[in-house]
């Protein structure tokens, strides 16, 4: 790693940390939970099935819209596939 690329990596890390400060702990937890479930998908995810009483319903809908997923609000288990 060159000295210049090390500087870039440090700057990227600082930028990421500053971005995290813009969100509440609940929003960050919602994002981590969402991405963990999304990462479990064996194929490229295309639909979010989210329980209508899910703790992070509005956050997950936002994340799914940002990811271009179809959103179905259901009365059942939350999953992404």
Q: Is the pTM of this model over 0.75?
A: no
Contacts of 51 (CB under 8 A, 6+ apart): 57, 73, 74, 75, 76, 77, 78
d(CA 19, CA 21): 5
Whether residue 80 contacts residue 37, with contact meaning beta carbons closer than 8 Å, is answered with yes
Q: What pLDDT sits at residue 22?
A: 60
The three-state secondary structure class of 54 is: coil
Digit-coded pLDDT (tens) for 21-50: 566 778 888 999 999 999 998 899 999 999
What integer is the mean pLDDT of 45-67?
Answer: 95
- Percent of the chain surpassing pLDDT 70: 70
Q: Residue 39's Cα: distance from chain center in Å?
A: 10
CA-nearest of 48, 50, 39 to 68 is 48
């Amino acid at each position: 790693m060159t000295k210049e690329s090390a500087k870039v990596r440090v700057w990227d890390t600082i930028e990421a940390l500053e971005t995290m400060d813009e969100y509440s702990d609940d929003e960050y937890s919602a994002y981590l939970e969402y991405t963990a479930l999304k990462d479990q998908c064996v194929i490229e995810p295309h639909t979010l099935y989210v329980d209508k009483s899910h703790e992070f319903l509005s956050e997950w809908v936002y994340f799914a819209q940002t990811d271009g997923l179809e959103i179905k609000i259901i009365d059942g288990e939350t999953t992404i596939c």
